[in-house]
Copies of this chain bind each other. A is one copy, B any other.
Amino acid sequence: MPLVKPEMTARRLVSQPSRLLTSMAVVASRLVAEGLAEIGARRYHYALLSTLAEFGPSSQAALGRRTGIDRSDIVSTMSELEEARFIERLSDQSDRRRNVITITAKGETRLEELDGQLRQIQHSLLAPLTPAERQQLVKMLLKLCVHHAGNGGSN
């Protein structure tokens, strides 16, 4: 949904935190999607490469649990990343149901590149906020995430 100027939005509507949150998420998603598309990437690429870089080789299922990406979408994204040689996908010798996914050196380089692009994106997303406000915002959003991830999202 396109963002509407708050001045022309019904007051009841514009003051709903859920609406503010989803409106800004739309903006953020667009900035991220467009910014990454410029260099031929998608959100999932960053999520998966950064997870592989931090936690080391993993099965696809483990990556799904860590990132929240559906098992089914992991499959297709892995095929993309494999084709570009950003990851290697080998079948696990100790458990032959699994693939072991490993980030390659080329993948690490790619990750740096994505990092740079994302830094710029976050900057333009948060442009109107002071550094202190940005920290505040992140802190509160994290608090919300921790709370709502605590259980299966039951409250």
* A interface residues (Cβ-Cβ under 8 A, vs B): 1-6, 8-18, 20-32, 46-47, 50-51, 53-55, 65-70, 115, 118, 121-122, 124-129, 133-134, 136-138, 140-150, 153, 155
Contacts and interface: CB of A to CB of B under 8 A. Distances in A.
A142 to B, nearest CB: 6
A36 to B, nearest CB: 11
A149 B5 contact: yes
Given A67-B13, A127-B155, A3 B143 contact: no
Contact of A128 (B6, B24, B128, B144): B144
Contacts of A70: 1
B53 A144 contact: no
Contact of A4 (B55, B129, B134, B149): B149
A123 B137 CA distance: 18
Contacts of A21: 21, 24-25, 28, 141
Most buried by B among A10, A26, A127, A143: A10
A5 B66 CA distance: 8
B4 A18 contact: no
